[in-house]
Structure 1
Amino acid sequence: MNICGCLVHVTTGAVEAARAGIEAMPGTEVHAASEDGRLVVVVEDTETTIASDQIMAMHQIPGVMSVTLNYHHFEDLSQPDACATP
């Protein structure tokens, strides 16, 4: 499981369209937006896509100037939890 926190910078005139494009992608959620075109986006793996592919696809949305990965968390869910007690 991958969970990524990203800052997406969008041109001011394209904020709503870019937000709609991001939210239409599986595994993405826009948590905050500023008037100057900054979006806080969380991206997670889904059954059909991986987070890194979603992040790369965001670069292709019209109006998106940059996508910066600010946080990344990975867990291998196929492995038993090392902290769990039997």
Structure 2
Amino acid sequence: MNISSLLVNARPEALPQVQGDLLALGGVEIHAATDNGQLIVTIEADSDRAAADLFTKISQQPGVLATSLVYHQFEPDPDEEA
């Protein structure tokens, strides 16, 4: 399991649309948003490739100006360890 934390900068006037678009992507959670368009987002994915693809999708959403990777961690899936 891959867990990543992102800082997403969006156009302030597009913030509601960006939030809706991001939440429609599987594995995405928004933890905070400011009026000036900054969002703290986490993504969970099964593989490095899936995490990278999701990061790219977020970066390409209409209204998103920039996406920065803040943190990335790989953990074994607890359901597969037993």
User: Which TM-score band applies after superposition, normalised by the shorter structure?
Assistant: 0.7 to 0.9
Q: Structure 2: any 5+ residue segments left out of the alignment?
A: none
Shift of 1:50: 1.5
Matched, 1:29 2:26: no
Q: Is the CA contact 2:2–2:46 (under 8 Å) kept in the aligned structure 1?
A: no
- Matched residue SS, 2:26: coil
User: How many residues get paired?
Assistant: 79
Aligned sequence identity (%): 34
Matching residue's letter, 1:62: P
Indicate the residue corresponding to 1:64 in structure 2. 64
Indicate the residue corresponding to 2:4 in structure 1. 4
Q: Structure 1: any 5+ residue segments left out of the alignment?
A: 81-86
Q: Which has the larger radius of gyration?
A: 1
RMSD over aligned Cα atoms: 2.2
Relative distance call for 1:50 and 1:76 in structure 2 (3 A) is same
Q: Which has the higher helix share?
A: 2
Q: Whole-Å Cα distance in 2 between the matches of residues 50 and 26 of structure 1? A: 11
